[in-house]
Structure 1
Amino acid sequence: MNPDLPERYEATFMLLPAGESLTYRLSETQYRALALGMTGRLQVQGSRFVSFEPA
């Protein structure tokens, strides 16, 4: 990790049932609210991540 570079947070979401994967850049707060294997509703606007609501 380079302390001179800003941290970037990304998450990959798998759309069901198709299995298509989409990757978005998130804020640190949004990223930390996620856990591996969560299911729920992904909301995007164009190619921008808006929110993820756990089921």
Structure 2
Amino acid sequence: MCGSLPCQPARLLLLLDYRRDRVALSIHMAGCLFDATADLLTTNPDPADLFERFIGWTARL
């Protein structure tokens, strides 16, 4: 799943897998963001948008 944005079904699976440790989920998704940054910046240069798409959703209930 790293290297691409998680779709809604994948997000739900990630939330289930990390249901007891949201911090670990955020760390995992930060690693995915790091891996994908070079490719994504060529198509989407807004870092705030990339943060929201990879990590921002993990903090919501």
TM-score normalized by the length of structure 2? 0.25
Instruction: Tell which has more relative contact order, 1 or 2 (C-alpha 8 A, sep 6+).
Output: 2
Would you tell me which structure has more helix in proportion to its own residues? 2
TM-score normalized by the length of structure 1? 0.26
Would you tell me which structure has more strand in proportion to its own residues? 1
Larger gyration radius, structure 1 or structure 2: 1
